[in-house]
Each structure stands twice: as structure tokens, then as C-alpha cells.
Amino acid sequence: APSPPPTRHHFSDPAEVEALRRNLLAWYDRCKRDLPWRALAATEPDADRRGYAVWVSEIMLQQTQVATVIDYYNRWMQKWPTLQALAQASLEEVNELWAGLGYYSRGKRLQEAARKVVSELGGHMPRTAEALQKLLPGVGRYTAGAIASISYGQATGVVDGNVIRVLCRLRCIGANSSSPAVIDQLWDMANALVDRSRPGDFNQALMELGATVCVPKAPLCGECPVKQHCRARCRKLFGKPAPVPDVEDCGVGDCPLCPPATEPWDSSLGVTNFPRKAAKKQPRAMRTATCVLERRGCRGGPEYLIVQRPSSGLLAGLWEFPSLPLAQDLQEEKEREVLADHLQAWMGQPVAAKDLRFIGEVIHIFSHIHQTYVVYSLPLDGDVTLDPASSPSRWVTEEEFHASAVSTAMKKVL
């Protein structure tokens, strides 16, 4: 079928595309941040190790800031410098190193995929975005494109949150940027724009631009290397859409990329009119009672009892203080009783609700859950014998607690 005619949302002028690539790459060469995985990807002769390093960094960077990731990445690569080393690690070790980084299933999936590469693919990473996405569990379209372009030089685009923002602004795309139709268009655009000779650098440059210049709230348009190609900026400066020679004007009301007619351009927002998202769902509120059981250890200092969570679901396989989800709107007295009952069943010895000391509440926001931990403590004399059928548990000193695979929320609780 013939392709639809280009509109003002597309890059239809080859000379402009060339200029945009040139300007963006020149800026990247001057201003790029020094990051350990970039250094390795640029100098490592072993292609599998390059792919592995970029893969680890990309998985860590999903949902986590660069500044936080650097230290985790360095420790990870020191401990498991190759896919083969990671494949031999235990899940417990992976969780311990990942502790505090959040979204724990990422580490687990990474390790499962490394095992697959070693056992089923002869220890070699797939070399194209298509094969990476197909063969590696946990590797989606974005991660596959990033690994293939940065490690193997495949001319394939990437679309992440930063790229969405930059492209929507460059081309005044105001339809819901999380809708499949817009995302498909952005992938087509990223694949068409990517520089054929330096695809990895081009993709990183586009993401870097979104992370450091074309930021969500107050973009630094004056310093932007692609400002002359930016239609949102033009619209802000001249108060009307940029005139684009030889392209179709968007039809009023039926353009799938224009802002909805009910929410037209708001001049007080300037370029931040773009991108637009559907309203976010409110996180679910949850309350969980948690009890810090404490005893005097053999060296005189306190020790705490931690138990392991189930191997699937939220915070899978991590350790925590004995905890119990609570129904909403329970009275404090009732909360204390249900927690005492839970501990009693678990420890096989009487626990009086009045002995549980209320310490306070800790609030922790997971991506989709607004969690309130209601924290109690219970000092114990001597040991407790736990039902062997219940979850694994162990006593730890404070130092051991911090070295264990525990979530940031549990550290706040302690």
C-alpha cells in the first residue's frame, strides 16, 4: 500500500535529517557524561562482554537514576565480569547486590537470561535487536535496540521516556504518548532517524539530550543542539505551528498525532505542551503490620529475626521482618491482635497483643502501591522455634541485616 503523505509531525526532508544527526552527534561528542558502561562498550574487544555490559546497565537504568546505578553497576561487573560468572551466581547473591535498587525481578530475570545464554546459546549473546528480544527473557524492544545498536552497531532506533519527550517536542506530537498508535509512530521515527554509521552514539545522544537538556519541566532550549529542528520551540516563539513546505497540513480534529481538540495548545506551557499522557492511575493504598523481633545475640548486641518472602510476586525472595497485610480501616487495637495471632501461629508459642510495642509508621511508595508499614517491636528472651513448614528465617545482627537481600522499605523500618 502507498505510504500516507507526510505531515508536519514527520521528518520528511533528508537534508534536515542529516543536519539533525550531525548537530546531535557533535553535541554528544562534546558534552556526553562519562559513564562506566560507555567506556567499556567503546573499548572492549570481546563482543559478548560488550553486549553483556550494556545489557546490565540498561536493565539497571530502567526506573532508576544514572547517579544511583553507577555504584551498583561497578560492583556487579566486579563480582560477575562475564555472562558465565553471572550464570553461576545464586539468586540470593543477586538479590543481595540488587538490594536498594528496587524492582527486584529485574536482577532475577537478568540472571535467568544469562543462564539461558550460557546453556542454550553457547555463551554468545544474540547480535541483532530482533534476536535479542526473541531469545532473552526480560529483554523488551527498547533494551534489545539499545544492546544491538550500542554493542554491535546495528542501525536500529530506541524509544524510551527521554526519546518520547524529545521526539514529541521536535514534531509537536500532542496525542497521548502512551497510546500504542503514537508509540508505533515514534518507533518508526526513531528507526528512520538513527545515524547509519554511529547508531549506538546517536541513540545515546538522543536519550542524553532528553535526560540533560530537553528535561520534563524546564528544558534548556537555548542550549539545545537541535533547536533549529524543533517545532514545539518554533510554535512557542512564533505563536503558531511552523510552516512546513511540501507537506500536508493536519486535518482538523482527525490527526492521530495532534493534541486532542478538547486540549489545544496552552501558551503558558510552551514546549512542555508536549508530550501528553493519559492521567496516571492512583497507586493502591495498602497497610502492612510488621514486627521487629529482637533478642540479645551471643556477642551482647541485638539480633533481629528476618524471614524470606515467597519466590514470586512483589519483592520476590527478599528478606523482611515478619509482616502481615492488614485490612483497611482496622482499629489500632485490632491490628495489634491480628499481628499477635499471626506471630503466635508462626512461632508456636503464646504472644500477647499487649506485649507488642507500637513504634510508628513507615510509608514507602512502590510504583503502583502506597504502602504503610505499621511497625511494632517485640523483645524476646531466648530463641524461638519456628514451624519448619513456614518460610525460611534467620537471626541477623544490624550489620548482617544491611548486607542481606532486604528492601529499602525494610531498612526504613529498622
Burial class (CB in 10 A: 0-12, 13-18, 19+), 141: middle
Least separation in angstroms between CB 186 and ligand SF4: 14
Distance CA 239, CA 263 (A): 16
Name the residue nearer to ligand SF4 (CB basis): 60 or 170. Answer: 170
Q: Which residues are within 8 A (CB) of 47 and not within 5 positions of it... i.e. 6 or more apart? A: 125, 127, 151, 152
Name the residue nearer to ligand SF4 (CB basis): 107 or 174. Answer: 174
Name the residue nearer to ligand SF4 (CB basis): 170 or 340. Answer: 170
Least separation in angstroms between CB 215 and ligand SF4: 8
Name the residue nearer to ligand SF4 (CB basis): 162 or 185. Answer: 162
Least separation in angstroms between CB 287 and ligand SF4: 42
Least separation in angstroms between CB 219 and ligand SF4: 4
Distance CA 130, CA 156 (A): 10
Name the residue nearer to ligand SF4 (CB basis): 53 or 214. Answer: 214
Give the DSSP H or E segment for 375.
Answer: strand 369-379
Determine whether 120 is an active site residue: no
Give the DSSP H or E segment for 363.
Answer: strand 357-365
Q: Given 16, 18, 44, 58, which residue is catalytic?
A: 58
Residues that bind ligand SF4 (CB under 6 A): 166, 169-170, 213-214, 219, 221, 224, 226-227, 230, 232-233, 271
Cell reading at 202: 546517536
Least separation in angstroms between CB 250 and ligand SF4: 19
Burial 201-239 (b: 16+ CB within 10 A, else e): bbbbbbbbbbbebbeeeebebeebbbbebbbbbbbbeee
Q: DSSP label at 406?
A: B
The set of catalytic residues is: 58
